[in-house]
């Protein structure tokens, strides 16, 4: 075999100019790996400010960055212009003075049964309306235009604090229709007093309409009212020395009990939310 033939065989086998050796790290030639410490866990209670603003429904994240840079966003009363700034869900974040809520806005309508407390969670085992809607949302829902424990009918819950405050405002004139059953027939003279306006706690209560329920005893009446005062219908009849046996709210704003059995709940439709949002 000639030298040329030897060289050809070495090229085929990967050897050139001598034997092929694998690179050995036995003599300390191993590549140096950068040591990294344990990854610090992120705080689940912190959220980037642009995400917080976007989740509130004001704008997109990209637009939120622009508003942050312009100083439109304040956190606990201080303007924040730092990109990547993180906040807690308990912080007070405002956009041009408007308080933001980063949770998805949810609206739940319950047909509340009698003897269910509307507010609070009861540790003594007593029944609450919140227990009936416990599976509706992971957010903290609060009642709007709350019914007392003895009353029944439509009860709205939401985590939209701005809308709740607006609907509870006395100036809005939110339409409410009640089916009232009294302990005795309503006298015509008392019905007329209610129609003309009856003072309760030195403030006159005006009803839009009051009438006897068709084909029912005279102790059952329908009352349409626009007042947001607490328990005002019950207090109205107590002023005239009647006891209410049953008080059922059958209309709240534009919401009705249609296809909503007692003790059941449903989410508001997009159009229903829009309609309530138009109430100023």
Domains detected in the chain: 46-99 (3.10.290.10), 103-170+261-280 (3.30.70.580), 175-252 (3.30.70.1560)
Determine which helix (DSSP H) or strand (DSSP E) holds 245, and give its type and residue range.
strand 244-252
The reported pLDDT for the residue numbered 29 is 56
Query: Residue 252: is its pLDDT beyond 90?
Result: yes
pLDDT tens sequence across 159-195: 888 888 889 887 767 899 999 999 999 999 999 999 9
Mean pLDDT of all residues in the chain? 85
Per DSSP, the three-state class of 248 is strand
pTM check: above 0.85: no
Query: Residue 16: is its pLDDT beyond 60?
Result: no
How are beta strands 73-75 and 46-48 bridged, if at all? Answer: unpaired
Region 69-75: mean pLDDT is: 94
* Residue 276: Cβ-neighbour burial (10 angstroms; 0-12, 13-18, 19+): buried
* Residue 94: Cβ-neighbour burial (10 angstroms; 0-12, 13-18, 19+): middle
pLDDT tens sequence across 212-242: 999 999 999 999 999 888 899 999 999 999 9
Closest C-alpha to 56, from 106, 104, 107: 104
Distance, first Cα to last Cα, the chain:
102
Closest C-alpha to 151, from 105, 208, 193, 111: 111
């Amino acid at each position: 075999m000639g030298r040329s033939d030897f060289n050809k065989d070495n090229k085929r086998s990967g050897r050139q100019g001598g034997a092929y050796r694998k690179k050995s790290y036995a003599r300390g030639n191993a590549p140096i790996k950068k040591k990294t410490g344990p990854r610090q866990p992120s705080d689940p209670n912190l959220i980037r400010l642009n995400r917080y603003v976007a989740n509130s429904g004001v704008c997109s994240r990209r637009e939120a960055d622009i508003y942050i840079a312009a100083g439109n966003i304040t956190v606990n009363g201080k303007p924040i212009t730092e990109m990547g700034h993180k906040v807690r869900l308990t912080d007070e974040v405002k956009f041009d003075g408007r308080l933001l809520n980063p949770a998805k806005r949810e609206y739940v309508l319950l047909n509340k049964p009698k003897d269910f407390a509307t507010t609070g969670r009861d540790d003594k085992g007593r029944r609450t309306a919140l227990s009936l809607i416990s599976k509706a949302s992971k957010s903290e829902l609060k009642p709007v235009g709350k019914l007392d424990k003895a009353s029944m009918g439509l009860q709205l819950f939401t985590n939209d604090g701005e809308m709740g405050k607006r609907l509870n405002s006395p100036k809005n004139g939110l339409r409410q229709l009640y089916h009232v059953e009294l302990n005795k027939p309503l006298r015509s003279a008392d019905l007329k007093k209610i129609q003309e306006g009856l003072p309760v706690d030195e403030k006159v209560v005006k009803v839009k309409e009051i009438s006897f329920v068709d084909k029912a005893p005279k102790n059952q009446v329908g009352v349409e009212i626009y007042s947001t005062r607490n328990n005002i219908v019950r207090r109205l009849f107590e002023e005239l020395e009647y006891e209410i046996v049953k008080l059922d709210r059958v209309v709240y704003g534009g919401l009705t009990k249609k296809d909503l059995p007692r003790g059941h709940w449903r989410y508001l439709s997009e159009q229903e939310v829009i309609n309530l949002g138009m109430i100023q």
